[in-house]
Amino acid sequence: MPTLYHHPVSAASRFIRLVFREYAIEAELLEERPWEQRRDFLALNPAATLPVYVDESMHAICGAGVIAEYIDETCGALKRDRRLLGDNVLERAEERRLMDWFLLKMDNDVTRHLARERILKTIMSKEHGGGAPDSKALRMARNNIKQHLRYLDWLAGSRNWLAGDKMSYADLAAAGAVSVLDYIGEIKWDEAPQARQWYQRIKSRPSFRPLLADRIRNLPPVSHYADLDF
């Protein structure tokens, strides 16, 4: 059976898990701790990033963007109305821009810092960087999140879905990042009513259920995390 190496705290992994569920692609989920630099994992993906998809023939496809294109080419392009990339080149360009926005820019500005300081450092051993959070990194990320939440709110308010009329990779990429931040209560939903409505819609999809069941050891989510009507 194909395998998806992922981590519940990785926004990019969550994005691909949503894509797989939307397309009903079966894959065994294996939790990987990339900071441990496991030798067999580095052999699959020398960049040591998540997620990595290993298909039936043992080909490793590395990174969320690369997996998303691979899945579109092998599966999505046949789905007609349910395809998660747009039908024309400009729609696809906008969807890809927003995938990069949420999985690269927002990750660099916000997500990976809050995930690391507030979640991963409680899991990591001392030699891998575990310990108390760095208050400077927290402050920087919490400052940056405001601009990202405003942008998300603007996108959600001015379009039906984030990249246009149809739900696309852009929504699932954004949802992957937002769900990590929402787990630890870092999203101030009161300040972004239109983003909240968008998230309620996407959170209600059956594909989202496994993400809402994710639990991190010794760190329960905020009370509204799995609540569809928060």
* Cβ–Cβ under 8 Å, residues 76 and 83: yes
* Cβ–Cβ under 8 Å, residues 121 and 33: no
> C-beta of 194: minimal distance to a second copy in Å?
17
> C-beta of 55: minimal distance to a second copy in Å?
9
Q: One symbol per residue from 4 to 43: x for binding a second copy (CB under 8 A), - otherwise; what is it? A: ----------------------------------------
The separation between the first and the last C-alpha atoms of the chain, rounded to the nearest angstrom, is 37
Count residues binding a second copy (CB under 8 A).
24
Q: For the chain, how big is the Rg over CA atoms in Å? A: 17
* Cβ–Cβ under 8 Å, residues 169 and 68: yes
User: What kind and span of H or E run contains 74?
Assistant: helix 64-74
CB-nearer residue toward a second copy: 47 or 78: 47
Q: For residue 10, give the nearest of 211, 196, 189 by alpha carbon.
A: 211
51 binds a second copy (CB under 8 A): no
> What length is written for the chain?
230
CB-nearer residue toward a second copy: 7 or 96: 96
Phi-psi map region of 222: left, alpha, beta (phi>0 left; psi -120 to 50 alpha):
beta
From the list 42, 78, 93, 219, which residue makes contact with a second copy (rule: CB under 8 A)? Answer: 93
CB-nearer residue toward a second copy: 19 or 226: 19
Phi-psi map region of 24: left, alpha, beta (phi>0 left; psi -120 to 50 alpha):
left
From the list 18, 27, 62, 202, which residue makes contact with a second copy (rule: CB under 8 A)? Answer: 62
Query: In a 3-state reduction of DSSP, which class is residue 125?
Result: coil
> C-beta of 228: minimal distance to a second copy in Å?
30
Site for a second copy in 145-164 (CB under 8 A): 151
What are the tokens at 26?
């079966």
73 binds a second copy (CB under 8 A): yes
CB-nearer residue toward a second copy: 47 or 219: 47
* Cβ–Cβ under 8 Å, residues 188 and 31: no
CB-nearer residue toward a second copy: 46 or 206: 46
> C-beta of 94: minimal distance to a second copy in Å?
9
Q: Is the dihedral of CA 119, 228, 196, 199 positive or negative?
A: positive
165 binds a second copy (CB under 8 A): no
63 binds a second copy (CB under 8 A): yes
Question: Which residues sit at the interface with a second copy, rule CB under 8 A?
Answer: 46-47, 49, 59, 61-63, 65-66, 69-70, 73-74, 89-90, 92-93, 96-97, 100-101, 104-105, 151
